[in-house]
Amino acid sequence: MALFSRAARAQRRPRASWTRAALAAGVAVVAVTVAACGNGGSSSAASSGGKDGFNEATQASGPLTVWVDSTRVPAAQAYEKAHPNVKLNVVTYDGDANGSNTLQTKVDLYDRTGNGWPDVVFSAESNEVSWTQPAGFTAPLNKGLIPSSVLSQFSAGSLAPCTVNGTVYCLRNDLAPAMLWYNAPLMKQWGYQVPTTWAQYQQIGEAVAKQHPGYIVGAAGDTFAPEIYMWASQCQANDVTGIRAVTVNVTTSNCSRMASMLDTLLADKSMSKLSAFSSAFDKQEKGKVLMMPAPVWFAGSVFDSSSGLNTPKDQIAAAPMPQWPGTTTPTTGNVGGGLWLLSAHSTHVSEAVNFIEWVTTNSAYQGDLAPGLPAYGPAASVWLANQQKAGYFANDIVPVVQQAAGQIWQGWGYGKFSQEAIWAATVTPGITAGKAIVSMLPAWQTAITNYATAAGYQVSH
Amino acid sequence: MRTDIHLPAADGAAALPRHGSRRAPSPSRLTGQLLGGLLLLVFVVFFVLPVLWLMLAATKTDAQLVGDNPLSFGSWHQLRVNWDALTGFQGNVILLWLRNSAVYAFLALAITLAVSIPAGYAMAMMEFRGRRALLVITLVVMLMPATTLVVPLFLELNEVHLIGSLWSVVLPFSFYPFGVYLTYIYFSTALPRDLLAAARIDGCTEFGAFRRVALPLAAPIIALVGFFSFVANWTNYFLPYVMLPQSGQYPVQVGIGLLLTDVPQFNPTAGAGTVLRPELALATLLGITPVLLVFLFAQRYLVSGLLAGATKE
Amino acid sequence: MSVTSSEPARARARRAPWRAVGAGYVFVAGYVILLAAFGVVPVVYAVYFAFTNADNYFAGLSNFVQSGQDFRYLPALEHIGIYLAIWLVALVVLVTVLALVLHQVSARRLGALVRFLYYIPGALAGAASVLVWLFMLDPTVSPASSLLHLLGYGTFGNVIAPGHLSLLFAIIAFWTGAGGWIVVMYGALNNIPRDVMEAARIDGAGAWRTARYIQVPMLRKWIVYMAILAFATGAQLFVEPQLVSEASLGVAGRDYSPNQLAYDFAFQNNNVNYAAAISVELLVVCLIVAAVFVTRSRFFDAN
């Protein structure tokens, strides 16, 4: 079982040298080298028990090794500025973004040699805990290291990717709820009401296709399209029910209703087939975006960006995500959000805890410097106030974003396999070729099942 | 190479064209030359167009990169702006990465040459037990996909406490079987045994023969192996990525990979957009310039024949 | 080129080998150490991984069987087969032709310039060329957009459609790799003794006949070496699909080749055993092909 072998691997020490020598008969070098291999480091496993819920390694003094991506370097610098007595060893890495698997590659190697783990890691990959927890890499945080008074102030559900069986294994850096961005003056000029249901949204899309061709109400070509649309529609594509169990059921009405809406608008050409980050989109859709269901960070990355659409100020406004009829609690999707992990092998646990707590909760960084919506409630308020004060938006986005942050549907989990990658490889080529998403739902289901199974999951339907 | 030796055709047949004679070349030769020239030109465009684009991209803003003609020139001012932004990224770290690349590549190159040239020479020109086995083992090792070699390599280097030092990268780089094979082929096809036999007759030891006969004639192969080794080391991404724990140790290839994750078009959900694509283009150009400079420098030696002036008629 | 000597040939030959043997070992010593440390040991270890399971018990062929049952395995084999067919032919034929044509260029500076221009893409490996290909393949911003539009592709998505990938990767691999081989072949052509070329000219052989009957046969070892390595690098295709995958954010080229699958096994699933099984399979195929080439061309014979 993948779970068992992963835990075993974290503590694996030398294989029996006689087995190796037998196999490598005649290659004396191999026997000598390998027999001496991999027996270093203190042993610490993520088993329960022990102070604070895990077995701490022997603590030592020395600099705190922190791995961050380039975007989070200011966080480490801000911490250093606020704590001049603390020595940090800041290592910049790719943040595990885009499926690079850097963290897992390195942690696996360190597990084999028994040393080299960093103390604190930032990861842009929100499903990190799905493998770090079984591997014994992350330390539990809610068993004594971080007080519940702090943990309870994180936005509702923001710690879901960090939580396994009630134990919190990481702190969420930022949230990325999806909402409906729209061009306020244009909507007013053409007399459209901001939609509150998907039916109204579709109507506007069809109207735009006839009356104002060339304008779009959304984009479906991004790899995170399922996280905006399918997640919001409560599609059961990623219902992670256990550390290695997932339920996948995408041919149900929750999924097909959204798929057919997308198909209609794609056929009308009021929904773009392109990715919002492609050059073609920048060229063709500049000034042509009427509405855009998208995460909160689209404002900075796409609209208010010289390398994006470069939309002038006082045009872009935010509204809550439209809903399907009969949905009792409104839901939306989420696209991204980084995590801060504390290594269970760390020899500087208390400094690491201080760092991790400060960097996720302190408004000096999260409120004032962070590029994304903080997951920590109080810091989020500061951040939102700063965003609104900059005067770019056409309406008050603060209540909209706060509302969206609380509406992220909990039925879409964080598995070890990447839903974005699966959608990109399976559905996006079809969209480009003009196929209907509804027709691709069975293929999508098969692909998710295949990848989940390959990742060691038990898939039910 | 002069081709205009005016000699009568052996059998006097007038049908065969004379090469480069003072008469105008025959139509078929002219079309042959034109076709050849056209072929070369088409491939020049194929190889160079993307690089030309890259050079021009470094002079534009991101909006110009997308909106303007792909082969338009931006401005020198924008090039300066891009340079400042690139060096501003984490405090001139791009220059540190370039320095690291140079150190790793040159150190490994020195060791490779010291080790591979004698080895290839010996396998080509000497008979000793295990010669063929060595050739076979080298070929087998060369053909093994590198993916699974990383884990054992990491464990090995960790055993001798080299993980984290530059030797964890330089030593594996120095192992360059491709270079040994190049040397082997070169000496076995180009160096006649007579020359060595002559040297032995004259009383040289094997080392003497190598030093006095083979080495002076080996400038092309030294340049060839040195050049390819340098390029392989310079462009290697995966080994340094796995072995080096500190970002200050990265070579420029890994550094560019890091820059890539900060470009929103390559990393929408996490990139903060602090690196724009023209800056990435500039970084790429910086990353390839040393390789091209080394090529220009070594080209003279790379292609000259081994026996130029060496044989006595 | 005769060497006069007073000693009979046999006596000369008898004296040489003694010193040659000892000296031979010294000459290869440094290389053998590196070969053992960074070649043999990792390879043996990798083979060990291929035949054991995660708990280090002997696993027979189960790694091979189970990795072969992965849903990505057979498609990867299919992809690599098509890719190899295109790639091998393109590289061996085009490099040889281009080297021969280039060799005809009598103006030395021009020849050197063209060789340099052909080589430049070789400096752009891996991560460095992601940006380049993102733009080259997007008809809305590519310098080659007229060509792409002519072929009927309007968007980046059209260009990287699944059916085009083999050809696309072959083109990218050729773009990066051909320049270096052209330089090698050109140098090899320069090693053909001038008197042989002169004799051919005197006999009236044109460029084509000289190439076919003189130059190509004398390039035999180099062409074989290039073919072996082309097969190996082709079978181990990794960089090109990986960079297209990065450029397209995963839309194309993700689990395209067996080597990528091995990489996923090793570093995504922490399953070094499956990865090693696939690597061993690739190695065996490459060795068989290399053996065929080597024996048929007497590659290992000393001069």
Per-residue model confidence as pLDDT tens digits over C61-95: 999 999 999 999 999 999 999 999 999 999 999 99
Give the pair of three-digit tokens for residue B190.
């180009």
| % residues pLDDT > 90 (chain A) | 75
Q: Specify if C256 maps to a domain.
A: yes
Question: Using the beta-carbon criterion (under 8 Å), do A71 and B154 form an inter-chain contact?
Answer: no
Question: Using the beta-carbon criterion (under 8 Å), do B231 and C118 form an inter-chain contact?
Answer: no
The tally of domains found in chain C comes to 2
- Report chain B residues whose CB lies below 8 A from the CB of C15: 200
- Confidence at A49, pLDDT banded by 50, 70, 90: low
pTM as predicted: 0.85
C218 and C135 assigned to the same domain: yes
In this complex, which chains have at least 3 CB pairs below 8 Å with chain B?
A, C
Task: Name the range with the highest mean pLDDT among A38-42, A119-123, B183-187, B297-301.
Answer: A119-123
Q: State the pLDDT at residue A203.
A: 95
Query: Residue A279 is nearest to which of C138, C162, C254, comparing CB atoms?
Result: C138
Query: Residue C157 is nearest to which of A9, A19, A432, comparing CB atoms?
Result: A432
Distance CA C7, CA C11 (A): 7
- Report chain A residues whose CB lies below 8 A from the CB of C268: 101, 104, 455
Q: Specify if C302 maps to a domain.
A: no
Question: Using the beta-carbon criterion (under 8 Å), do B273 and A33 form an inter-chain contact?
Answer: no
Query: Is A167 in the C-facing interface, judged by CB distances under 8 Å?
Result: no
Query: Is A244 in the C-facing interface, judged by CB distances under 8 Å?
Result: no
* Shortest CA gap B48–chain A (Å): 22
Q: Specify if C153 maps to a domain.
A: yes
- CA quadruple A361, A365, A371, A375: dihedral, nearest 10: 0
- Report chain A residues whose CB lies below 8 A from the CB of C267: 101, 104-105, 108
C9 and C157 assigned to the same domain: no
Query: Is C217 in the B-facing interface, judged by CB distances under 8 Å?
Result: no
Question: Using the beta-carbon criterion (under 8 Å), do A301 and B271 form an inter-chain contact?
Answer: yes
- Report chain A residues whose CB lies below 8 A from the CB of C41: 27, 29-30, 33
C43 and C77 assigned to the same domain: no
- Report chain B residues whose CB lies below 8 A from the CB of C229: 142, 178
Grouping H, G, I as helix, E, B as strand and the rest as coil, residue A293 is: strand
Question: Using the beta-carbon criterion (under 8 Å), do A100 and B261 form an inter-chain contact?
Answer: yes
Question: Using the beta-carbon criterion (under 8 Å), do B118 and C28 form an inter-chain contact?
Answer: yes
Q: Locate the chain C residue with the closest alpha carbon to A103.
A: C267
C248 and C125 assigned to the same domain: yes
Q: Specify if C165 maps to a domain.
A: yes
pLDDT at A349 over 90: yes
- Report chain A residues whose CB lies below 8 A from the CB of C249: 98, 223, 275, 277, 424
Burial of B34 (0-12, 13-18, 19+ CB in 10 A): exposed
pLDDT at A106 over 90: yes
Q: Locate the chain B residue with the closest alpha carbon to A103.
A: B242
The string of pLDDT tens digits covering residues C112-151 is 889 889 988 988 877 788 889 989 999 988 999 899 999 8
- Which amino acid is residue C141, in one-letter code? V
Give the pair of three-digit tokens for residue C140.
């809305």
- Report chain C residues whose CB lies below 8 A from the CB of B190: 191
Mean pLDDT, residues C2-28 taken together: 58
The string of pLDDT tens digits covering residues B144-188 is 888 788 888 998 898 899 988 999 999 999 999 989 988 998 888
* Shortest CA gap B71–chain C (Å): 6
C124 and C80 assigned to the same domain: yes
Distance CA C192, CA C219 (A): 8
Mean pLDDT, residues B276-283 taken together: 92
The string of pLDDT tens digits covering residues B59-79 is 999 889 888 888 999 899 999
Q: State the pLDDT at residue B272.
A: 66
Q: State the pLDDT at residue C253.
A: 82
C34 and C117 assigned to the same domain: no
Question: Using the beta-carbon criterion (under 8 Å), do C161 and A429 form an inter-chain contact?
Answer: yes
Grouping H, G, I as helix, E, B as strand and the rest as coil, residue A365 is: coil
Mean pLDDT, residues B32-61 taken together: 92
Query: Is A81 in the C-facing interface, judged by CB distances under 8 Å?
Result: no
pLDDT at B17 over 70: no
Query: Residue A274 is nearest to which of C51, C71, C155, comparing CB atoms?
Result: C155
A vs B, Cβ pairs < 8 A, gives 116
Helices (H), ranges, C151-219: 156-159, 165-190, 194-202, 207-210, 216-218
- Confidence at C10, pLDDT banded by 50, 70, 90: low
Angle at B37 between CA B34 and CA B42, to 5 degrees: 125
Q: Specify if C56 maps to a domain.
A: no
- Report chain A residues whose CB lies below 8 A from the CB of C161: 429, 432-433
Structural domain containing residue C31 = 1-50
Q: State the pLDDT at residue C35.
A: 94
Q: Specify if C63 maps to a domain.
A: no
Distance CA B109, CA B232 (A): 10
Q: What average pLDDT does chain B have?
A: 83
Q: State the pLDDT at residue A355.
A: 95
DSSP A87-131: -EEEEE--TTGGG--HHHHHHHHHHHHT----SEEEES-TTTHHH
pLDDT at C207 over 50: yes
Q: Specify if C65 maps to a domain.
A: no
Interface of C with A in 5-44 (CB under 8 A): 36-37, 40-41, 44
Query: Residue A283 is nearest to which of B66, B155, B156, comparing CB atoms?
Result: B66
Interface of C with B in 267-296 (CB under 8 A): 272, 275-276, 278-279, 282-283, 286-287, 290, 294
C95 and C144 assigned to the same domain: yes
Q: State the pLDDT at residue C25.
A: 85
Question: Using the beta-carbon criterion (under 8 Å), do B139 and C98 form an inter-chain contact?
Answer: no
SS (H, E, C) C215-284: HHHHCHHHHHHHHHHHHHHHHCCCHHHHHHHHHCCCCCCCCCCHHHHHHHHHHCCCCHHHHHHHHHHHHH
All structural domains of chain A, each given as residue ranges with its CATH number in brackets, are 2-14+59-175+336-386 (3.40.190.10), 178-333+417-460 (3.40.190.10)
Q: Locate the chain A residue with the closest alpha carbon to B158.
A: A113
Distance CA C9, CA B42 (A): 54
- Confidence at B190, pLDDT banded by 50, 70, 90: confident
pLDDT at C54 over 90: no
Mean pLDDT, residues A230-247 taken together: 94
Query: Is A454 in the C-facing interface, judged by CB distances under 8 Å?
Result: yes
Query: Is C202 in the B-facing interface, judged by CB distances under 8 Å?
Result: yes
Query: Is C127 in the A-facing interface, judged by CB distances under 8 Å?
Result: no
Distance CA A134, CA C162 (A): 36
Candidates A344, A365, A383; CA nearest to A76 is: A365
Q: What average pLDDT does chain C have?
A: 85
The string of pLDDT tens digits covering residues B81-119 is 999 999 988 888 999 999 999 999 999 999 999 999 999
Task: Name the range with the highest mean pLDDT among A171-180, B121-130, B199-208.
Answer: A171-180
Interface test with C, best of B175, B193, B297, B303 (most C CBs within 10 A): B303
Contact C40, B143 (CB under 8 A): no
Distance CA B168, CA B160 (A): 10
pLDDT at B194 over 50: yes
- Report chain C residues whose CB lies below 8 A from the CB of A33: 41
* Shortest CA gap B210–chain C (Å): 10
- Confidence at A12, pLDDT banded by 50, 70, 90: very low
C25 and C173 assigned to the same domain: no
pLDDT at A312 over 80: yes
Give the CATH number, domain containing residue C259.
1.10.3720.10
**Helix H or strand E encompassing A182:** strand A178-183
Q: Specify if C90 maps to a domain.
A: yes
All structural domains of chain B, each given as residue ranges with its CATH number in brackets, are 95-260 (1.10.3720.10)
Distance CA B225, CA B179 (A): 5
Q: State the pLDDT at residue A206.
A: 95
Q: State the pLDDT at residue B180.
A: 93
Distance CA A374, CA A368 (A): 10
C239 and C181 assigned to the same domain: yes
pLDDT at A46 over 70: no
Question: Using the beta-carbon criterion (under 8 Å), do C250 and A425 form an inter-chain contact?
Answer: yes
Distance CA B237, CA B173 (A): 12
C28 and C123 assigned to the same domain: no
Contact B87, B95 (CB under 8 A): yes
C114 and C198 assigned to the same domain: yes
C199 and C241 assigned to the same domain: yes
Question: Using the beta-carbon criterion (under 8 Å), do A108 and C267 form an inter-chain contact?
Answer: yes
